[in-house]
Amino acid sequence: MGSSMKLKTVIPTMMLAMCCFAAQAETLSVDIELPRIDVAEYHRPYVAIWIANQDRTVAANLNVWYQQEDGPEGEGETWLKDMRQWWRRSGRSLELPIDGVSGATKVPGTHTLVFSETSDQLSSLVAGEYVLCVEAAREVGGREILRLPFKWKSGQAQTTSVTGETELGEITLKIES
Amino acid sequence: MKFGLRPLLLAAVLGAVAVPSAQAHRMWILPSTFTLSGDEQTITVDGAISNDLFFPNHVAMNLENITISAPDGTTSKPQNGWEGEIRSTFDLKLDEQGTYKIAEEGGFYFARWEEEGEEKRTRGNWERLEKLGLLEKPDVKLMYAGRRAETFVTLGAPTQHVFKPTGEGVEMVPVTHPNDLYQGEEASFKFLIDGAPVIDQAITIVKGNDRYRDIVGEFKVKTDAEGIVSFTPEEPGRYWLQTRAQKPGEAQGRKMMLMSTYSATFEVLTP
């Protein structure tokens, strides 16, 4: 993209940034908006939030929100497979629940997750390019998956967001030092 | 008309021939769900021989011929079975993680002979042909037609145990797991006859709901040198696959033509 002239001016700043930030731990935060959906039969969505490698394999599971207690409609884990991408890439090979990853379903609104570099979820994530995936599936409802590419341990602060059309509202990813 | 498969790819790579065939009786087993999560789940399974996929409109499946293989290889018979005129149904409780196989297996003997210059034919089990005295007829021509209709259901992560071939007739051994098929991704299955890879074997694939299409959209793809067919489903949905082979052989101590038909039902998901 940039010309060599541009590159020359960027490199020193980047190196400066890297030298100063390298020692500092990075923090990844995600804002997830669950829209209010006006339907005859509403169930809170099941949501999976994970970090995918470039080849779509799973690098880290951040959170999975689902009904962990068996209810009158049966086993809560019954609908996990409706988060099709997550189920295929990770869920079906996991022993659930996972401490710190499994969580209860959430009400409409914005929910924020914050993970430090030393958290269980991210401690083994090496520097590189990844994709944050957020997948929501709702009983008697639809399914939507959103993806946000990002760089981990690049020494640069990043803020990106994407807005869903049906099951998910605005998803914002922030990497800060 | 959008086909379930990518016609160009099939034509170029696999030498496919679109067959605008007449409606045929197709045997199928259809589970209510193919992919499940949790510790224990129950599905309902339909079985029929019909023209349209997957709408019963001809003959019910005989539940006595159905065997369910659990992920660990143990077998069981259908529970809560019911046989109607045009459809059979039963329940399957899955309480073991992995892939289950539901299979209908059976076969008929066919006899063809001449009586007073007229050609006669009948079919049935061996005992029936014996009772009719057909086996003693000097000019009788015999054939055995065996069939195997299968489908696969997975609770949790897919496993491979149920794909162990028996070495008899036509069998399918997946390269891509049949509960791991996605729209736009290439899928591959290997076909065996009597345990050995079968080369240049035509496999017919049809997407369900042909009732709502003017063109059936039936495709024939051929196995390669390793007995493998590859195809890329362009649409999610339920599919049906069939292949048939015959060769001279021996059964019940008699020389006869042996025919073997394999069919399977599988689901393709959106990624």
Bridge-based pairing of strands B141-155 and B254-268 is parallel
Rounded-to-integer distance, Cα B65 and Cα B186, Å = 32
| C-alpha neighbours within 13 Å on the C-beta side of residue B267 | 16
Count of Cβ atoms closer than 10 Å to residue B12 Cβ = 10
- Two tokens, residue A144: 């939507």
Which residues, at least 6 apart from B172, have a Cβ–Cβ distance to it below 8 Å? B150, B163, B189, B190, B191, B192, B241, B262, B264
Are B39 and A87 inside 8 Å of each other by CB?
A: no
Beta-sheet strands, E only, within A23-166: 27-34, 46-52, 58-65, 102-103, 109-116, 128-137, 143-152, 158-163
Report yes or no: B237 at the A interface, CB cutoff 8 Å.
no
Report yes or no: B36 at the A interface, CB cutoff 8 Å.
yes
Quick one: B227 exposed, middle or buried, by C-beta within 10 A (0-12, 13-18, 19+)? buried
- Two tokens, residue A65: 């929100």
Lowest mean per-residue pLDDT among A94-98, B2-6, B245-249: B2-6
If you measure CA to CA, which chain A residue comes closest to B43?
A78
Report yes or no: B74 at the A interface, CB cutoff 8 Å.
no
On the question of pLDDT at B13 being above 70, the answer is no
Tell me, what's the pLDDT at A68? 84
- What is the SS3 assignment for B112-180? EEEECCEEEEEEECHHHHHHCCHHHCCCCEEEEEEEEEEEEEEECCCCCHHHCCCCCCEEEEECCCCCC
Lowest mean per-residue pLDDT among A73-82, B32-41, B104-113: A73-82
The amino acid at residue A29 is S
Which of chain A's residues have a Cβ under 8 Å away from the Cβ of B37? 77-81, 87, 91-92
Q: How far is A107 from chain B (nearest CA, A)?
A: 23
pLDDT in tens, A21-68: 455 789 999 999 999 999 999 999 999 999 999 999 999 999 999 998
Rounded-to-integer distance, Cα B172 and Cα B163, Å = 8
Q: What are phi and psi of B70, to 5 degrees?
A: -80, 165
Report yes or no: B271 at the A interface, CB cutoff 8 Å.
yes
Which of chain A's residues have a Cβ under 8 Å away from the Cβ of B41? 75, 78
Rounded-to-integer distance, Cα A26 and Cα B174, Å = 44
Tell me, what's the pLDDT at A74? 63
Are B37 and A85 inside 8 Å of each other by CB?
A: no
pLDDT in tens, A127-177: 999 999 999 999 999 999 999 999 999 999 999 999 999 999 999 999 998
Report yes or no: B249 at the A interface, CB cutoff 8 Å.
no
B23 — pLDDT class (breaks 50, 70, 90): very low
Are B37 and A84 inside 8 Å of each other by CB?
A: no
Which of chain B's residues have a Cβ under 8 Å away from the Cβ of A76? 38
Q: What is the CATH number of domain A24-176?
A: 2.60.40
On the question of pLDDT at A15 being above 80, the answer is no
Tell me, what's the pLDDT at A14? 52
On the question of pLDDT at B22 being above 50, the answer is no
Tell me, what's the pLDDT at A25? 87
Could you tell me the residue ranges of all domains in chain A? 24-176
Report yes or no: A152 at the B interface, CB cutoff 8 Å.
no
Report yes or no: B157 at the A interface, CB cutoff 8 Å.
yes
Which of chain B's residues have a Cβ under 8 Å away from the Cβ of A97? none
